[in-house]
């Protein structure tokens, strides 16, 4: 009388959420300053002033009937034109308004893309460690998620293993760079290699294998790291973008799908995306927020704070002997567990009121994820406890 899959999804909290709730309780018990919560990937810096300014301006200047009215299902044409111009101007790739479909954030971009391209029982490859909701979204679209481990050393996609995992049921490969949970940014060489494999296997199998690029962290890169734009290398790419992290507006749910204009079946995919958005009940992305993001393209919140946090943690943790995956982007550190078990590491850290997420929940054993989108002061207070934590393994 109730859908059992949905009930399970709704009743089982993710481990990340469990940790976060535990943190809230501990803070109530021990005081705000005594708990070091690195569990959630929730932007800690405010939106740039442009967000408030432009919203206020829109409310002052625009006719409310138009501002708050329905846009077409794919989004306002003026907004989509501006985004296409921005993509084309910034990344040097062909783009047009027709290739943009506005969504209620990146999660919706993923569910709409997956529902558009998947037929019952088809497979989608994700690279472990991966954002756990990928499995929920793929299964929600009637597909099966197939995990392929990243390379041990670099956490880059292992193209040989991806090649081996592709078969006639494979519909798509999802990648995420800058990566959650590792912070790794894939370089151009790796993306060319992956594209070659997808092209070869598509030709061999006589079917299109789509590349879904989940890019909420595109702007969050440090030390001049470059995030290659994937439509340059692979025609059958769907870019799922969100303004949540770049503009620090994660609760507003605004993003888009960019359908590579060079896609083999561009029109059919575009139609299927419109159909999937309709079937899932999206109607259109929030209209005022569509107008807002079109006015804030290229703007970001003050992400120098994240870089400062990253450097502070990296230098201290490395000095004390922690092994950390090279983090060029996003706001996560992927720390190797001194015991080899991510769960044990996370539990032991919890004993010192440090909340970090065991990597097992991302499909990879032996690490923990630390989110450094937090106040720098909290990191400073936490450092002595991190020292104690690693020393406890040496005793």
Q: Which of residues 128-147 bind its own copies (CB under 8 A)?
A: 133, 136-137, 139-140
Q: Are 372 and 306 in contact (CB under 8 A)?
A: yes
If one asks whether residue 3 binds its own copies (CB under 8 A), the answer comes out as yes
**Min dist. Cβ of residue 306 to its own copies (A):** 14
Restricting to residues 150-179, which ones interact with its own copies according to CB under 8 A? 171
If one asks whether residue 55 binds its own copies (CB under 8 A), the answer comes out as yes
**Min dist. Cβ of residue 135 to its own copies (A):** 11
User: Residues touching its own copies: how many (CB under 8 A)?
Assistant: 81
Q: DSSP of 5-24, one letter per residue?
A: HHHHHHHS--HHHHHHHHHH
Residue from 43, 129, 178, 327 binding its own copies (CB under 8 A): 43
If one asks whether residue 24 binds its own copies (CB under 8 A), the answer comes out as no
Strands (E), the chain: 36-37, 100-103, 123-128, 144-149, 170-176, 210-214, 237-242, 255-259, 332-336, 354-355, 357-358, 367-371
Going 150 to 152 to 155 to 157, the CA torsion angle's sign is negative
Q: Are 97 and 84 in contact (CB under 8 A)?
A: yes
Residue from 69, 89, 321, 351 binding its own copies (CB under 8 A): 69
**Min dist. Cβ of residue 6 to its own copies (A):** 4
If one asks whether residue 8 binds its own copies (CB under 8 A), the answer comes out as yes
Residue 100's SS3 state is strand
Residue from 208, 225, 316, 365 binding its own copies (CB under 8 A): 208
If one asks whether residue 31 binds its own copies (CB under 8 A), the answer comes out as no
Q: Are 163 and 199 in contact (CB under 8 A)?
A: no
Restricting to residues 92-111, which ones interact with its own copies according to CB under 8 A? 104-105, 107-111
If one asks whether residue 265 binds its own copies (CB under 8 A), the answer comes out as yes
Residue from 31, 32, 70, 152 binding its own copies (CB under 8 A): 70
Residue from 224, 281, 298, 395 binding its own copies (CB under 8 A): 281
Residue 256's SS3 state is strand
For residue 366, which of 149, 132, 136 has the smallest C-alpha distance? 149
């Amino acid at each position: 009388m109730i859908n059992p899959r949905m009930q399970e999804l709704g009743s089982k909290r993710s481990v990340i959420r469990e940790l976060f709730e535990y943190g809230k309780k501990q803070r109530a018990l021990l005081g705000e300053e005594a708990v070091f919560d690195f569990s959630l990937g929730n932007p800690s810096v405010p939106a740039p002033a442009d967000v408030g300014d432009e919203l206020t301006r829109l409310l002052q200047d625009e006719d409310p009937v138009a501002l708050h009215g329905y846009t077409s299902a794919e989004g306002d044409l003026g907004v989509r034109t501006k985004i296409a111009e921005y993509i084309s101007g910034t990344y040097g790739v062909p783009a047009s308004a027709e290739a943009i479909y506005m969504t209620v954030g990146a999660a919706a971009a993923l569910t709409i893309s997956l529902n558009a391209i998947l037929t019952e029982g088809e497979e989608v490859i994700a690279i472990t460690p991966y954002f756990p909701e990928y499995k929920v979204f793929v299964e929600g679209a009637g597909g099966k998620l197939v995990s392929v481990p990243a390379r041990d050393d670099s956490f880059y996609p292992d193209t040989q293993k991806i090649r081996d995992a592709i078969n006639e049921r494979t519909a798509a490969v999802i990648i995420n760079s800058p990566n959650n949970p590792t912070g790794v940014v894939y370089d151009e060489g790796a993306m060319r290699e992956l594209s070659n494999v997808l092209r070869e296997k598509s030709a061999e199998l006589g079917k299109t294998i789509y590349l879904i690029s989940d890019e909420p962290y595109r702007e969050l890169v440090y030390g001049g790291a470059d995030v290659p734009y994937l439509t340059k290398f692979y025609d059958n790419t769907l870019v799922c973008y969100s303004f949540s992290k770049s503009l620090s507006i994660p609760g507003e749910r605004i993003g888009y799908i960019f359908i590579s204009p060079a896609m083999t079946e561009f029109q059919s995919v575009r139609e299927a995306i419109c159909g999937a958005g309709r079937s899932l009940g999206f109607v259109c992305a929030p209209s005022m927020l569509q107008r807002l993001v079109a006015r804030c393209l290229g703007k970001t919140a003050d992400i120098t704070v994240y870089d400062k946090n990253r450097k502070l943690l990296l230098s201290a943790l490395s000095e004390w002997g922690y092994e950390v995956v090279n983090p060029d982007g996003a706001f996560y550190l992927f720390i190797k567990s001194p015991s080899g078990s991510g769960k044990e590491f996370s539990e032991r850290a919890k004993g010192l009121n440090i909340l970090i997420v065991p990597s097992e929940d991302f499909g990879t054993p032996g690490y923990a994820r630390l989110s450094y989108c937090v106040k720098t002061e909290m990191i400073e207070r936490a450092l002595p406890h991190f020292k104690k934590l690693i020393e406890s393994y040496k005793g």
